[in-house]
Each structure stands twice: as C-alpha cells, then as structure tokens.
C-alpha cells in the first residue's frame, strides 16, 4: 500500500511529464511490475520508468525489474538529497555500467514548476 506522501509525489511526477508533452500513467503495470510513473515520449516512443523512493530499501529491485520489463530509462526520484545520495551510492556499487548509464536521479522539487510549491518540498 502506497502512502499518501508517495501518491502525492506520483501525481507531481505525472503532471510534470504531461506538461512537457509526454503521456504519463501512475502505477502502470507491465507484466506484473508496477511502475510508480511511466512516461513515454509521444514522438520517439522512449519509455521512462520513474521510481519514487522514500528510502533506499527497494531501489535496486525496482531498477532491475523496470529494465527487465522493457523500459528504456529509469529515473529515481526522491523527496530529499540525503535519500538520493544514499541511493546513488547503493546503485553505483551494485549495478553494472550498462544499467547505470540508463539510470538518473532527481529531487522532486526539480519537477515542480511553481517556486512557492518548491519551497514546501524541501
């Protein structure tokens, strides 16, 4: 069961992608793997799995499964820099270079267009 905070962050991510012209879905299921927010470029068909991580606990499993079900890229999105840095360290020591080259990391505030909202997520 996803927390209210997790669901709020999913909505922010989905709305961000829609605002830049992608199609986006929350809790998208591919072969039994739930992706927090799946985004697809409507022109190139490039598929991005966005995983919202409130802790580093499941990040490796999520990344591996996202690629296994056919995603082209994985973006790890965290609420704070501390969690983001922990996940970066964990992935860099646990994933091979081929996978790592298709993984990026973001802070949720980077995806929020309004400055007054950005201040509330730090």
Residue 14 lies in a domain: yes
CATH of the domain at 32: 3.40.1350.10
Chain centroid to CA 60:
13
Q: What is the pLDDT of residues 47-100, one digit of tens each?
A: 999 999 999 999 999 999 999 999 999 999 999 999 999 999 999 999 999 999
Residue 20 lies in a domain: yes
Residue 91 lies in a domain: yes
Residue 104 lies in a domain: yes
Is-contact 105 88, C-beta < 8 A? yes
**What pLDDT sits at residue 114?**
53
- pTM, to two decimals: 0.89
* Count: domains in the chain: 1
Burial level of 7, CB count in 10 A (0-12/13-18/19+)? middle
Q: What is the pLDDT of residues 26-55, one digit of tens each?
A: 999 999 999 999 999 999 999 999 999 999
Reported as type and span, the H/E element at residue 2 is none
**What pLDDT sits at residue 59?**
95
Residue 53 lies in a domain: yes
Residue 122 lies in a domain: no
- Alpha-carbon span 113 to 1, nearest angstrom: 28
Residue 8 lies in a domain: yes
Residue 45 lies in a domain: yes
Domain boundaries, position 112: 4-117
- Reported confidence tier of residue 119, pLDDT bands at 50, 70, 90: very low
């Amino acid at each position: 069961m996803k927390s209210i905070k997790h669901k709020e962050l999913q909505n922010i991510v989905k709305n961000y992608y829609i605002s830049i012209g992608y199609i986006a879905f929350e809790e998208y299921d591919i072969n039994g793997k739930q992706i927090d927010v799946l985004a697809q470029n409507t022109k190139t068909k490039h598929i991005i799995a966005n995983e919202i991580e409130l802790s580093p606990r499941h990040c490796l499993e999520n990344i591996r499964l996202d690629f296994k079900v056919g995603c082209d890229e994985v973006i790890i999105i965290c609420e704070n820099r501390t969690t983001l840095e922990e996940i970066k360290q964990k992935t860099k020591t646990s994933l091979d270079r081929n996978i790592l080259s298709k993984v990026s990391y973001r802070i949720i505030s980077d995806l929020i267009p309004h400055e007054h909202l950005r201040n509330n997520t730090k």
